[in-house]
Chains A and B, each alone.
Chain A
């Protein structure tokens, strides 16, 4: 059956449509094209024509014209709209016209860079000139490195290699730095949070060295859609970038279906499992011969869903269904990718490994099971289905989490304006100090030199006092240690001093994971159950001093939940609104916090039933976290409740604010921590704290402070739209439930859910910001 017929059938089946919250049809869009620009090198134009490309799409032309005019550019057109040509064209053109020109391509993953290099090779082999494109990463043979440094026109690498192998050895890369004209940053939205903050500093170092060698490269970025691409580009590169957003690529008709599994238990709002729904949806599509990709959250789910599909499709189609996930060997992956491109494989289940633009051609249908953590990822997943011509369908199957439930009821957040913004904080002091050290190793610092922040000189003085740098007679700060600073700084780890988890059961101790010190207190204390790849390990010994936790696999039917006694101290109020709190029920603050955490005891909780099986004491020192945070103090009269009601409302509000905050900041929920105080030490007021879980802060709570109304509205809607009656673990969290006794039937008595909503409403009701009206609309509901 053709896809169009299947869609018709679904449309006519009420049992199907009643589970949909939204069905959007985007009509086919014809291509908007333009001829090649006049300045394009003839040889390149000929090579493109030979590849069957006679014209450019309008966005490609705008991008290459902007680059040609000397501007930095960020392109955020959809998946498969031909973004790579936006940077390959100007780069190849420049090399053809001046063969000393050099370009640096940065990709976040290895697989991606391999694909891009082969695409470049294809285009370059039709040119008159030999254009040298090389991948420089950990797999590059030592013998080839010398040649790449000298002769590579285009060097393809990743930020980690740039940080640890290229910048510290810049003298060996003289040719590259002297003539570096373009820096291409693909998948720029990946560079957010701690990783992004590191990468922004790596790029500061790159620009500093270019400046030394007399070059001044332009930046060309490509990214998934998000709320703030220009802000991201500026923070990442330190340069203003022109934003190219309107796609001129043709697009076949596409249908987007938001599918919410049916409720099976009304009172608790329990729904049927998302994976189960994805099973029959996918099997149906595949049985009809429609190529389908499924996206799930974990590696285990990949195997489970793929085996379901294999079981459910007709015998002869079984070998057309495969699982694809990280952990496969490179040639296995290549074979699968080839099978997908050539159409031998019709069905594939993947984690997000495929989102990143690895070339697999495009499929007719995509099914995303559960929210992958950001709207950008979800869009990239559904972008996997969708061709330049012909029909496609993308189905999002929500699971029961509050974020999923919020999104499935707010289609415009998924389909139109993305609410999320990538945040990074290149000036986080710890990260900045790390990179100042690296930069000093690369080139001595002049006393008045500025590296990111205006107060660079203070930082340099501090490092000199600690004898990491030395102020020499030439007025410059020189590196003063026999260590290579970049070796001890990883761009991808959460905090510098993390705790690695070591499995000691095998013959050889094996590191199976890592976590930051702060989280280690509650997840890696002795006797804790550490969950890894759905296996249980018990912590035998935690060596905080050396950053190691030794674990051993166990068969346990429980997990552990540690309690932390948290004390928050406000170190510095950086901003507050409104400034005069007298006539307002709430006051919002942003500032620096000191969090003192003391793990006290842990509970053993049985899987499934969540029974408490016992408890134990934790003997660990107090931990201290200095970070940036947001806090909101309410006046006593903000809600009409007593101590117990306040406790419930604050606990519930903090739970949902954390979820909503993660959505707005494009970060994972664990990047934000919360705390509540019914009587805050200084003001005596009920207060909710939401702070960045990374030392020094990473820009998350700063963003939330600036968007506080939108944030509270989102949080309020998450609770209000939850299908439960009086508050459930997914909307207001486990802490808030049961603290207010259910006063069913007693007239005006309120449920826990209602208290949380009324507290959030003290801010949400004040909201008046553009675009908000749409959020309340529920006309899209079926």
Chain B
């Protein structure tokens, strides 16, 4: 008798040692329901879906930020830093806090392929004098089209601005995937995206071990969530829920998701404050980030002052000193530049570049060939004394570099030395 396909496949998979992995059974307490957690089954004519509205007064705080603070902030620099620009089709002028939609999802996986689906969406927005978090939970796959339609119609109308953390490449494209899958037309003008991930990375990658929403919350907002569920566990919780319908397992995911959008608002305020100068930067990392934004926006004065502040901070690195010194050099402010170079010579024993700069300065500007020779010889000495360390001459730090680059630098130094000696022999400078 022919074996059934199922028994064949089972035997085959066992024989190859390849077993289709299922989920672990999980014990859950009974008795909770979506209603008990505040969800309401709504139907707008296109089918039902589960929605929860959580509101609080704008006077409430998330960490050290009051929700209402966002209304008092100028968000235009933040928008620029997030690369939301007037060239975007969705641009509706400088962002207005009322048009912000703080968006975060929980998904069944980390990929952005067609089979990864957001099973929980949170949209936070300001309604009157309230901060409101709307959550949409996919209790059954068949509810998805109606749920998506509700999200798009209720929240992402024209002129809204979607604020996310890593949503530009993840949450938003996933939402678009789902719309395409159900043959729903995405909005005519694309919703502008304000993704806080990149500006946060620029500002705090030096001071934080990992630039994640959780870390930022802890460091900047001083919020330590209690019993928070790590995001990576969400898919397994959802699959378990889909299978056994025990609500307790999914509950932490719902709370985590709601907290995330509140954190987004608070983070928005903090980043805007740093950019607007309301919040005094504390570290060279922040100043360096600000400086690079200001130079991108061609506001060189501000860029300069940020660099100046950066070198005052204890965590200033070679890079900030170097950039600041070049800045002074460009502006012909030689004494400041020389001060920085001399500090660098002291602080960075592997670095010869500041010595070369000093030699150039004395040779070409002051025509003090004695000093020029002194710095050239010092640089040569440093190259020889600490050959491994001083290899990195192009300023990338003391590690890796080629001995070829080293040879080039040595050659240039010898060349310089010979030239200065010729000049010295020809007679003293003016």
What is A's interface to B at a CB cutoff of 8 Å? 168-172, 174, 429-430, 433, 440-444, 453, 455, 458-459, 461-463, 466-468, 470, 472-474, 476, 478-485, 495-497, 517, 571-572, 574, 592, 594, 624-626, 695-696
Q: How far is the CA of A485 from the CA of B21 in the complex (A)?
A: 12
Chain B's nearest CB lies how many Å from the CB of A150?
Answer: 13
Chain A's nearest CB lies how many Å from the CB of B277?
Answer: 34
A441 touches B140 (CB 8 A): no
Number of interface residues of B (CB under 8 A): 42
Chain A's nearest CB lies how many Å from the CB of B180?
Answer: 4
Q: How far is the CA of A481 from the CA of B109 in the complex (A)?
A: 7
When distances are taken between beta carbons in the complex, the residues of chain A under 8 Å from B111 are: 168, 484
Q: How far is the CA of A420 from the CA of B249 in the complex (A)?
A: 59
Q: How far is the CA of A174 from the CA of B12 in the complex (A)?
A: 37
Residue of A480, A483, A496, A624 near B18 (CB, 8 A) is A496
Chain B's nearest CB lies how many Å from the CB of A392?
Answer: 48
When distances are taken between beta carbons in the complex, the residues of chain A under 8 Å from B13 are: 430, 433
Closest residue to A484 on the B side, CB-wise? B111
B20 touches A171 (CB 8 A): no
With A430-B13, A482-B235, A497-B16 in contact, is A472–B140 under 8 Å at CB? yes
A472 touches B108 (CB 8 A): no
When distances are taken between beta carbons in the complex, the residues of chain A under 8 Å from B180 are: 171, 174
With A467-B23, A696-B12 in contact, is A458–B6 under 8 Å at CB? yes
Closest residue to A623 on the B side, CB-wise? B15
Closest residue to A495 on the B side, CB-wise? B16
Chain B 2-21, CB-CB to A under 8 Å as 1, else 0, gives 11111011111111111011
A695 touches B141 (CB 8 A): no
* B331 beta carbon closer than 8 Å to chain A: no
When distances are taken between beta carbons in the complex, the residues of chain A under 8 Å from B8 are: 429, 592, 626
When distances are taken between beta carbons in the complex, the residues of chain A under 8 Å from B181 are: 171, 443
Q: How far is the CA of A470 from the CA of B239 in the complex (A)?
A: 9
Knowing that A430-B16, A484-B113 touch, tell me 6 more A-B residue pairs with CB under 8 angstroms. Answer: A462-B5, A481-B108, A481-B109, A496-B16, A497-B16, A626-B8
When distances are taken between beta carbons in the complex, the residues of chain A under 8 Å from B6 are: 458-459, 461-462
Chain B 150-177, CB-CB to A under 8 Å as 1, else 0, gives 0000000000000000000000010011
Q: How far is the CA of A468 from the CA of B108 in the complex (A)?
A: 13
* B188 beta carbon closer than 8 Å to chain A: no
B108 touches A626 (CB 8 A): no
Sampled A-B contacts (13; CB under 8 Å)? A168-B111, A430-B9, A430-B18, A466-B22, A467-B243, A468-B21, A472-B140, A481-B239, A482-B109, A496-B16, A497-B18, A624-B14, A625-B15
Q: How far is the CA of A152 from the CA of B239 in the complex (A)?
A: 38
B18 touches A171 (CB 8 A): no
When distances are taken between beta carbons in the complex, the residues of chain B under 8 Å from A468 are: 20-22
When distances are taken between beta carbons in the complex, the residues of chain A under 8 Å from B239 are: 467, 470, 480-481
Chain A's nearest CB lies how many Å from the CB of B26?
Answer: 12
Chain B's nearest CB lies how many Å from the CB of A593?
Answer: 11
When distances are taken between beta carbons in the complex, the residues of chain A under 8 Å from B4 are: 458
When distances are taken between beta carbons in the complex, the residues of chain A under 8 Å from B15 are: 594, 624-626, 695
Chain A's nearest CB lies how many Å from the CB of B90?
Answer: 17
* B236 beta carbon closer than 8 Å to chain A: yes
Chain A's nearest CB lies how many Å from the CB of B110?
Answer: 7
With A458-B6, A466-B22 in contact, is A169–B113 under 8 Å at CB? yes
Q: Give me the 6 closest cross-chain CB pairs, A-B, nearest first.
A: A441-B115, A474-B142, A482-B109, A472-B141, A482-B235, A467-B22
Most buried by A among B11, B16, B23, B115: B115
* B212 beta carbon closer than 8 Å to chain A: no
Residue of B5, B12, B114 near A458 (CB, 8 A) is B5
When distances are taken between beta carbons in the complex, the residues of chain B under 8 Å from A626 are: 8, 11-12, 15
When distances are taken between beta carbons in the complex, the residues of chain B under 8 Å from A483 are: 109
When distances are taken between beta carbons in the complex, the residues of chain A under 8 Å from B9 are: 429-430, 433, 459, 462
B141 touches A466 (CB 8 A): no
Closest residue to B111 on the A side, CB-wise? A484
B16 touches A455 (CB 8 A): no
Closest residue to A174 on the B side, CB-wise? B180
B16 touches A476 (CB 8 A): no
Contact residues of B between 218 and 270, Cβ < 8 Å to A: 235-236, 239, 242-243
Q: How far is the CA of A696 from the CA of B3 in the complex (A)?
A: 13
B141 touches A476 (CB 8 A): yes
With A171-B177, A470-B242, A480-B239 in contact, is A443–B114 under 8 Å at CB? yes
Closest residue to B235 on the A side, CB-wise? A482
* B292 beta carbon closer than 8 Å to chain A: no
When distances are taken between beta carbons in the complex, the residues of chain A under 8 Å from B236 are: 482
What is B's interface to A at a CB cutoff of 8 Å? 2-6, 8-18, 20-23, 108-116, 140-142, 173, 176-177, 180-181, 235-236, 239, 242-243
Q: How far is the CA of A572 from the CA of B113 in the complex (A)?
A: 40
When distances are taken between beta carbons in the complex, the residues of chain A under 8 Å from B114 are: 168-171, 441-443
Chain A's nearest CB lies how many Å from the CB of B170?
Answer: 13
Q: How far is the CA of A478 from the CA of B114 in the complex (A)?
A: 11
B12 touches A572 (CB 8 A): no
Chain A's nearest CB lies how many Å from the CB of B243?
Answer: 7
Q: How far is the CA of A496 from the CA of B181 in the complex (A)?
A: 30
When distances are taken between beta carbons in the complex, the residues of chain A under 8 Å from B235 are: 481-482
B140 touches A474 (CB 8 A): yes
B3 touches A572 (CB 8 A): yes
Q: How far is the CA of A168 from the CA of B114 in the complex (A)?
A: 6
Q: How far is the CA of A572 from the CA of B3 in the complex (A)?
A: 8
A571 touches B16 (CB 8 A): no
Q: How far is the CA of A624 from the CA of B10 in the complex (A)?
A: 13
Closest residue to B176 on the A side, CB-wise? A171
Q: How far is the CA of A480 from the CA of B21 in the complex (A)?
A: 11
Q: How far is the CA of A11 from the CA of B318 in the complex (A)?
A: 81
Residue of A463, A473, A481 near B142 (CB, 8 A) is A473
Chain A's nearest CB lies how many Å from the CB of B231?
Answer: 11
Closest residue to B110 on the A side, CB-wise? A482
Chain B's nearest CB lies how many Å from the CB of A30?
Answer: 53
A473 touches B12 (CB 8 A): no
When distances are taken between beta carbons in the complex, the residues of chain B under 8 Å from A473 are: 140-142
Q: How far is the CA of A170 from the CA of B112 in the complex (A)?
A: 11
When distances are taken between beta carbons in the complex, the residues of chain B under 8 Å from A461 are: 6
Chain A's nearest CB lies how many Å from the CB of B79?
Answer: 23
Closest residue to B174 on the A side, CB-wise? A171
Q: How far is the CA of A21 from the CA of B290 in the complex (A)?
A: 82
Chain B's nearest CB lies how many Å from the CB of A594?
Answer: 8
Chain B's nearest CB lies how many Å from the CB of A426?
Answer: 15
A479 touches B115 (CB 8 A): yes
When distances are taken between beta carbons in the complex, the residues of chain A under 8 Å from B20 are: 463, 466, 468
A474 touches B141 (CB 8 A): yes
B2 touches A572 (CB 8 A): yes
Closest residue to A545 on the B side, CB-wise? B17
B115 touches A462 (CB 8 A): no
Q: How far is the CA of A463 from the CA of B22 in the complex (A)?
A: 9
Chain A's nearest CB lies how many Å from the CB of B190?
Answer: 13
B113 touches A441 (CB 8 A): yes
Closest residue to B179 on the A side, CB-wise? A171
Most buried by A among B4, B13, B173: B13
Q: How far is the CA of A463 from the CA of B6 in the complex (A)?
A: 9
Q: How far is the CA of A466 from the CA of B14 in the complex (A)?
A: 13
Chain B's nearest CB lies how many Å from the CB of A210?
Answer: 14
Q: How far is the CA of A476 from the CA of B115 in the complex (A)?
A: 13
Chain A's nearest CB lies how many Å from the CB of B167?
Answer: 17
Chain B's nearest CB lies how many Å from the CB of A616?
Answer: 25
With A441-B113, A458-B6 in contact, is A429–B16 under 8 Å at CB? no
Q: How far is the CA of A607 from the CA of B405 in the complex (A)?
A: 50
Most buried by A among B112, B141, B180: B141
Q: How far is the CA of A572 from the CA of B14 in the complex (A)?
A: 18
Chain B's nearest CB lies how many Å from the CB of A428?
Answer: 9
Residue of A444, A463, A572 near B141 (CB, 8 A) is A444
When distances are taken between beta carbons in the complex, the residues of chain A under 8 Å from B16 are: 430, 495-497, 517, 695
Q: How far is the CA of A706 from the CA of B5 in the complex (A)?
A: 23
When distances are taken between beta carbons in the complex, the residues of chain B under 8 Å from A696 are: 12
Most buried by A among B10, B17, B23: B17
